[in-house]
Structure 1
Amino acid sequence: MSNEQEEEFSEEMGIDLEKGSEPAAILVGVYSGGSKKSLCEEHLDELENLADTFGVPVAAKFHCSLRKIDASTYIQKGKLEEIREKIQETQANLVIFDEEISPGQQRNLEKILKVSVMDRTELILEIFAQRAQTKEAHLQIEMARTRYEFPRLKRLWSHFSRQRASGGYLRGEGEQQIEIDKRLLQRKIDRLTSELREVKRTREVQRSARLRSGIPTFAIIGYTNAGKSTLLNALTEAEVFVEDKLFATLDPTTRKFTLPNNQEVLLTDTVGFIRNLPHTLIAAFKSTLESALHDDVLLHLIDASHPSAEEHALATFDLLKELDIHEEALITVLNKADLCADPAMIDRLRHRYPKTVVISALQQTGFDDLVARMVQELAERRQEIKLKIPQSEYALVTELRREGRVLYEEYEENDVIIRAEVPITLLHRLDPYRHE
């Protein structure tokens, strides 16, 4: 597949709004007997924020009570008629479902509603594509979008037909061309897979270099728009881009910070998490996330002012489990606590997550407690030790440089005398070499 062909596919994989029209969306969420309408409303509020981040105003919202999913259109025909009337009334040209819909349902809905239809997954993919800055992020997002669109080629062809009926592709070219396109897209996936392997290797080299430096690392993680970049800027006096939008940060940013005990650490800002983050994105961004999430300590930032703060925390932990990260590596940081309308929720979060500090990154309050907790966490996870290692086992010295911090080193006949700060997980292996 040529670069020109791939670029053409990438352009067409975006949403298909009528040319010359101002975008406006209708949002659709569902709830059933086991769920609450209020939760559906909260989820649609988040979907509206996503639409705003994408640059599309919302014309209306529908909360649909659903007993059974319709195999062809997801929701029942009566509700579809209401949505179609609202489209005519508001001149909306996009319908966004909060739930993931199948390729067939998406095609059928577009035929009935006569406007573009997308689901939450596709919207998030489009936002990531909008906001990527680095080559690495572009590669990861292009892989995620390609995997998402692969089973949706029939829908893409219906768009091609409308856009190019005057010349080029015609609706009747159909199935044969779809098979050709599947092969072309598979080649594209293979190429992106190869390039992402290189990205992973680069990440591993960068991580090894950080480990060799012996500088402990903290990754700031959390639900999107929790204030991660604001915290990084406040602690390090950096100038990381901050915007009151979802997914303002996609590319990890690392800055140095000095703790009160004069120990230098690295702080990394990461891409925000979100409820039901598309699996194609998790897979594509795995190397970036793993690089950050396997640092010494994670600062899990929670927006304590958000009414769904507890749900956001659980969504973050669900993703951490997928990446095999455990709670023991976390310090929970309740941000925007000064804006919290429900003090009882802060108490519940404190009880649920024992290693918790309360701050306001914007007002820079609670920072003394935060950095004290960071110092304590490093002290609990690392221990200073003096060792006498035979030069014949110098590979162990190399490992100490990689995994810990060498504070002192001298050679004594055939041995190396070392004083080092090492992770407690290595202590049992080092016991035979202890030197008083």
Structure 2
Amino acid sequence: MALENIYEKNELSTTGVILVSSYFEHWEKDSCLEHLNELKLLCDTLGLKTLDRMACHTRKVSASLFISTGKLEELKEKIQATGADLVVFDDEISPAQQRNLEKELKVHVIDRTEVIIGVFAERAETKEARLQVELAEVKYQAPRLKRLWTHLSRQAGTAGGGAGGGAGGGGYLKGEGEKQIEIDRRIIKRRIDRLEKEIEEVRGQRQVQRQMREKGGIPVFAIVGYTNAGKSTLMNALTDANVFVEDKLFATLDTKTRKFVLDNNQELLLVDTVGFIRKLPHQLVAAFKSTLEEAVKADILIHLVDSSHPNAIEQAKTTMQVLEELGAKDKPVITVLNKIDKLEGDAEISRLRLLYPKTVRISALQRVGFEELKEAIQREIEALRKVVQFKIPQSEYQIVSEIMRLGRVIHQDYEENDVLIKAEVPLFLAEKFRVYAQVN
């Protein structure tokens, strides 16, 4: 991961950090402090030790240092007092600002984006997730070539091997008269090309799997929401999926799909997607596009919100913004207000219910409110289905079997050599067998 350019992995737990966030208006200070709390959780997830936090009131962002010279001096004092050897900014800072800050502070400086990419690299398990994280990391580090040089030179053989064999290995690095920066750029370009090719191959496999699901006609529900909202806990509670659960941000990154059966024997597929977060690095949105497509391609979204979180409304809005960026904002949505067992009052719940229609209150951990959730799911499925009267020749009984398998039979009878069947079926099935439908 990117932080390993600075520290060995086993040294991260002993790395002391100071967190820095900025705000412009005085009334934004509380929100700024909450953002610092979230940044601390990200650092905790990565294994970094937070020594101090600094909320900076800023009138104007400094083009060279991001913060004012006064705040810079205050930060120097904190570094000296705590012995910190790493500063993490909650805002994305430019490569030039990063270099200037490191020169002034005499310690390494990174930003929220690099921490999130580090967390994703730590949590990625499947081949697809690892490829996507690596691609995001390389694209993020591209403008920071001086920091990346040692890391890249160690991987030069790997980078060349995937896209052109030996030409990208050691001999390639020995070209006379070639500037180091140009070598960096060539290595990065080759790595990006290789990674994008491999991701496209995995994406093709995922597309085949999705087409098989669509062919089966089972409704697909994608569980989306802010990281740590309880998506995996809900998945486990509904399906006994044994998805890894931990009280940390981004405990799981890899998409899981499980079958769930409602009380009326209606089958559906639940897809547990990667969590969203405020200021999700655009490199990760782009890199995880194929994974997040599960949300775009789903029939219905279950938007899970941690209703006990002080920033629940902001987190819900962040999720909807990411969905809009992915082109999924017009999907049917059930907003599920989770962790009601931790609530001390209903004020936040009331505000959320005003903002989002079709809300359900649950506790995934305590398995409270599941009946209401199932009813909401059933209503959404019914909106994707219609009741049709079919008249099908007995010689084509395989059609009857498919209707019985994918639909809900309301009434069945026989008339000479035909089967009369009234059933609630998915819209695609009604269209598929429309020639057998009887007009009332």
If the length of structure 2 is used for normalisation, what is the TM-score?
A: 0.83
Which residue, 203, 208, 211 being the options, matches 1:208? 211
Question: For the structure 1 residues 174 and 316, does the alpha-carbon distance in structure 2 shift closer, same or farther, using more than 3 Å as the test?
Answer: farther
Contact 1:17-1:94 within 8 A present in 2 as well: no
Are the counterparts in 2 of residues 106 and 117 from structure 1 also a CA contact under 8 Å?
Answer: yes
**TM-superposed deviation, 1:31:** 0.5
Change (3 A) 1:352 1:24: same
Picking from 12, 19, 44, the partner of 2:36 is: 44
The equivalent of 1:178 in structure 2 is 181
Tell me the distance in 2 between the aligned counterparts of 1:312 and 1:419: 44
1:318 aligns with 2:321: yes
Matched, 1:238 2:241: yes
Distance 1:159 1:136 in 2: 22
Q: 1:361 to 1:185 in 2, by over 3 A?
A: same
User: Residue 87 of structure 1 corresponds to which residue in structure 2?
Assistant: 79
SS at match of 1:14: helix
SS at match of 2:209: helix
What does 1:226-375 align with in structure 2 at a 5 Å threshold? 226-375=229-378
Larger displacement relative to structure 2 (418-427 or 249-258): 418-427
**Root-mean-square deviation over aligned CA pairs:** 3.2
Could you list the per-position Cα deviations for residues 372-422 of structure 1 after superposition, in whole angstroms to 9, with x for gaps in the alignment?
1111110112224355799xxxxxx9xxx8xx94789xxxxxx99998765
Task: Please name the residue that 1:134 is paired with.
Answer: 126
- Preserved contact between residue 3 and residue 118 of structure 2 (Cα < 8 Å): no
Structure 1 residues 132-171: aligned runs within 5 Å = 132-157=124-149
Deviations 1:335-386 (A, max 9, x none): 0012123411101111221111000011111011001111111011222435
Question: Structure 1 pair 345/251, CA: closer, same or farther in 2 (3 Å)?
Answer: same
* Aligned counterpart, 2:412: none
Q: Cα gap change, 1:434/1:47 in structure 2, threshold over 3 Å: closer, same or farther?
A: same
Residue identity in the other structure for 1:289: L
Aligned-residue offset at 1:86: 1.2
The 2-side partners of 1:354 and 1:288 are apart by 27
Matched, 1:67 2:40: no
Counterpart Cα distance in 2 of 1:292 and 1:388: 37
Do residues 381 (structure 1) and 384 (structure 2) align? yes
Q: Which residue of 2 aligns with 1:57?
A: 49
Taking the aligned partners of 1:94 and 1:30, their CA distance within structure 2 comes to 18
Structure 2's unaligned 5+ residue stretches are: 154-175, 394-398, 410-417
Partner of 1:101: 93
Go from structure 1 to structure 2 and tell me whether the alpha carbon gap of 1:113 and 1:280 turns closer, same or farther (over 3 Å shift): same
Specify the SS of the correspondent of 1:36.
Answer: helix
Alpha-carbon distance, 1:93 to partner = 1.1
Counterparts in 2 of 1:34 and 1:90: CA distance versus 1, 3 Å: closer
Change (3 A) 1:174 1:241: farther
Query: Structure 2 CA distance, aligned partners of 1:174 and 1:72?
Result: 32
Sequence identity percentage: 55
| C-alpha separation in 2, matches of 1:417 and 1:200 | 43
In structure 2, how many angstroms separate the alpha carbons of the residues matched to 1:331 and 1:432? Answer: 34
Q: What amino acid maps onto 2:4 in structure 1?
A: G
Using a 3 Å threshold, how does the CA distance of structure 1 residues 33 and 426 change in structure 2: closer, same or farther? farther
Q: Quick one: structure 1 residues 383 and 61, their matched pair in 2 at CA, closer, same or farther if it must change by over 3 Å? A: same
Post-superposition offset of 1:70: 0.9
1:217 equivalent to 2:209? Answer no
Contact 2:250 2:274 in 1 (8 A): yes
1:28 aligns with 2:28: no
The answer to whether the Cα contact below 8 Å between 2:407 and 2:426 also exists between their aligned partners in 1 is no
Q: Is residue 17–residue 93 contact of structure 1 (8 Å, CA) maintained in 2?
A: no
Q: Which residue of 2 aligns with 1:5?
A: none
How far has the Cα of 1:95 moved from its partner?
A: 0.4
Structure 2 CA distance for partners of 1:416 and 1:92, relative to 1, 3 Å: farther
Q: Which residue number in structure 2 is paired with residue 166 of structure 1?
A: none
Report deviation, 1:309. Answer: 0.2
In the alignment, is the contact (CA less than 8 A) between 2:218 and 2:406 conserved in 1? yes
Query: Which AA in structure 1 matches 2:297?
Result: H
Checking the alignment, whether the CA contact within 8 Å between 1:304 and 1:335 is kept in structure 2 is yes
Deviation at 1:314, TM superposition (A): 0.1
- Secondary structure of the corresponding residue to residue 95 of structure 1: strand
1:418 and 1:209 map into 2 onto residues whose CA distance is 26
Q: Deviations over 1:173-215 (max 9, x none)?
A: 9991011110111011111111111122111101011112222
Q: Is the 8 A contact 2:295 2:328 kept in 1?
A: no
Q: Does 1:113 align with 2:105?
A: yes
* Deviation of 1:292 (Å): 3.7
1:197 is the counterpart of 2:187: no
Contact 2:222-2:294 within 8 A present in 1 as well: no
Distance across 2 between alignment mates of 1:310 and 1:354: 14
Structure 1 gap ranges (5+): 1-10, 162-172, 391-396, 409-414
Equivalent in the alignment of 2:166: none
The one-letter code matched in structure 1 to 2:338 is N
- Superposed displacement of residue 318, structure 1: 0.2
